[in-house]
Amino acid sequence: MATTKKRATKQASGRRYGPAAGKSVEAAMKRMEKGTLRSGKGGKAGAVKSRAQAIAIGLSEARKKGAKVPRKRSS
C-alpha cells in the first residue's frame, strides 16, 4: 500500500519535459510532414523522413532555447 502511494506522488512531482519542449517537437513534426525539416549542419543534408529524427531535432532546438528537456542519452 505504501509503495503505490509513494509511486503516485513521485509521478505527480514534475513533468519530464516542459511545455515549451512539446511545442518545439510539434513544430518540428509539422515541418517534417511539410517536407521542410532538414538535418545536418545548416540544414544542408536531405529532408528528414524519420519520425524519431524529427523528435530528436525538436528536442535539440528546445534545449538550445533553454526549455526543460532532460540531458541527451548516450547510445
The residue ranges of every structural domain in the chain are: 16-65
Cα–Cα distance measured from residue 2 to residue 58, given in angstroms and rounded to the nearest whole number: 38
What's the predicted TM-score (pTM) here?
0.74
Question: Higher model confidence: residue 39 or residue 6?
Answer: 39
What mean pLDDT comes out for the span 59-73? Answer: 90
Q: Is the pLDDT confidence value at 12 over 60?
A: no
